[in-house]
């Protein structure tokens, strides 16, 4: 990023998306976010869209079905390693999801693009927190198998920014707002304050990420003259095959842009 050459926004987003090495991806995203924030990039919407089949990722962890991912009690170190590894995998996928959102949809307002690069930079920091914690626990990212559910949703929503904003930030990432407080409580009960501290940072910053998704979902609905609440509910029924599960973190979801009506029927439908 140094020197007089200004990187192209879409070319650099796609390049970072394709990087397989986690450290190189995280360092590159941090530098790119600084360049975007200082307006040191050029606009290059003519570059090809990134491939949707697979983002850049290391060979490990091995990908398995969700039911095959290790789950252990948090009272043991092995159980805490399994939890931290699962969160690290989510955060690595979240880097790619944010980069893909920035690189793929070329017809959004100018403010949309730095929003998603800033999310990618946050997710890279979050991955770093979890990867470092794995090292402290005597393990590392890739040591355990993981599933590919987050990226499957990215593949399923390449056709529409509106659908992507509805189903990735407002469904999959919002799930983290609901489950993280409980993880924090259980980890605190077993004395793992180091992991608690990292999760508190992640929870606080993920509210902003989901709020960004809510903002751009509403924009897409307004552009297409659709009612956001009715459209969100319809997409949950027609484009989301998973199951909504409560209880929901209502204060965090309200702060992240969910309306009172949405929270009411989410709880009803769960």
Residue 166 has a pLDDT of 97
Give the contacts of 4 (CB within 8 A, at least 6 positions apart).
Answer: none
Domain count, the chain: 1
The whole-number average pLDDT for the span 138-152 is 90
Instruction: Return the pLDDT at 270.
Output: 65
Residue 210: phi and psi, rounded to 5, are -65, -35
pLDDT of residue 215: 98
In a domain, 32, yes or no: no
pLDDT confidence of residue 189: 95
In a domain, 89, yes or no: yes
Mean pLDDT across 159-169? 97
Q: Tell me the pLDDT band of 4, cut-offs 50, 70 and 90.
A: low
Q: What is the rounded CA–CA span in Å between residue 10 and residue 108?
A: 13
Any idea what the CATH number is for the domain that residue 158 is in?
1.20.1260.10
pTM: 0.95
User: What percentage of the chain reaches a pLDDT higher than 90?
Assistant: 83
Calculate the CA 262 to chain-centre distance.
Answer: 21
For residue 97, is it within any domain?
yes
Per-residue pLDDT tens digits for 86-127: 999 999 999 999 999 999 999 999 999 999 999 999 999 999
Residue 51 in domain: no
Residue 224 and residue 154: Cα distance in Å, rounded? 21
- 187 with 195: CB under 8 angstroms? yes
- Tokens representing residue 269 in the block: 């439908």
Q: Is residue 180 part of a domain?
A: yes
Q: What is the b/e burial string over 123-142, where b = at least 16 CB atoms within 10 angstroms of the residue's CB? A: bbbbbbbbbebbeebebebb
Give the pLDDT confidence score for residue 149 in this predicted structure: 78
Alpha-carbon distances, residue 124 vs 9, 56, 92, 209, 246 (angstroms): 18, 14, 7, 13, 28
pLDDT for the residue 75:
86
Name which residue leads in pLDDT, 205 or 54: 205
Mean pLDDT score of the chain: 93
Range of the domain at 128: 75-269
Residue 36 lies in a domain: no
Residue 146 to residue 91: CA distance in whole angstroms: 12
* Per-residue pLDDT, 2: 45
In a domain, 124, yes or no: yes
Over the stretch 234-260, which tens digit does the pLDDT of each residue have?
A: 999 999 988 888 899 999 999 999 999
- Tell me whether residue 249 is in a domain: yes
What's the pLDDT at 161? 98
């Amino acid at each position: 990023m140094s020197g007089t050459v200004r990187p192209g926004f879409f070319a650099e987003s796609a390049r970072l998306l394709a990087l397989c090495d986690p450290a190189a991806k995280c360092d590159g995203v941090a530098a790119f976010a600084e360049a975007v924030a200082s307006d040191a990039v050029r606009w290059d919407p003519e570059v090809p869209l990134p491939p949707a089949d697979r983002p850049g990722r290391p060979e490990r962890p091995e990908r398995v079905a969700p039911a095959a991912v290790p789950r252990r009690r948090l009272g043991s170190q092995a159980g805490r390693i399994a939890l931290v590894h699962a969160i690290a995998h989510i955060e690595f996928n979240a880097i790619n999801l944010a980069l893909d959102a920035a690189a793929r949809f070329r017809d959004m307002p100018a403010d949309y693009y730095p929003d998603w690069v800033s999310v990618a930079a946050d997710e890279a920091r979050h991955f770093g927190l979890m990867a470092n914690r794995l090292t402290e626990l005597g393990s590392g990212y890739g040591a355990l198998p993981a599933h590919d559910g987050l990226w499957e949703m990215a593949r399923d929503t390449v056709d529409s920014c509106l659908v992507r904003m509805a189903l990735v930030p407002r469904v999959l990432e919002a799930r983290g707002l609901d489950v993280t407080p409980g993880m924090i409580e259980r980890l605190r009960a077993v004395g793992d304050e180091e992991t608690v501290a990292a999760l508190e940072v992640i929870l606080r910053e993920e509210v902003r990420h989901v709020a960004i998704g809510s903002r751009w979902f509403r924009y897409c609905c307004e552009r297409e003259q659709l009612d956001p609440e009715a459209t969100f509910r319809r997409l949950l029924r027609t484009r989301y095959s998973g199951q909504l599960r409560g209880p929901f973190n209502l204060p965090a979801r309200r702060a992240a842009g969910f309306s009172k009506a949405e929270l009411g029927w989410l709880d009803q439908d769960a």
